[in-house]
Structure 1
Amino acid sequence: MADLRTFADEAIGALRAHDEIHAGDMCETLEAFLALGNGAEAARRLYIHDNTMKHRMARMSELLGVDLREPRTRLTLALALEVRKFV
Structure 2
Amino acid sequence: MKRFYSHYTFIYPDTYLKNNVVELDSENKIVRYFPFCREIEKTEFYSGLLIFYPGNINITENLKTQIYSYFEISKRETDTNIFAFYE
Query: Shorter-chain TM-score: which interval?
Result: 0.3 to 0.5
Normalised to the residue count of structure 1, the TM-score between the two structures is: 0.34
Give 1 or 2: higher strand fraction. 2
Q: Of the two structures, which has the highest relative contact order with CA contacts closer than 8 Å and spacing of 6 or more? A: 1
Give 1 or 2: higher helix fraction. 1
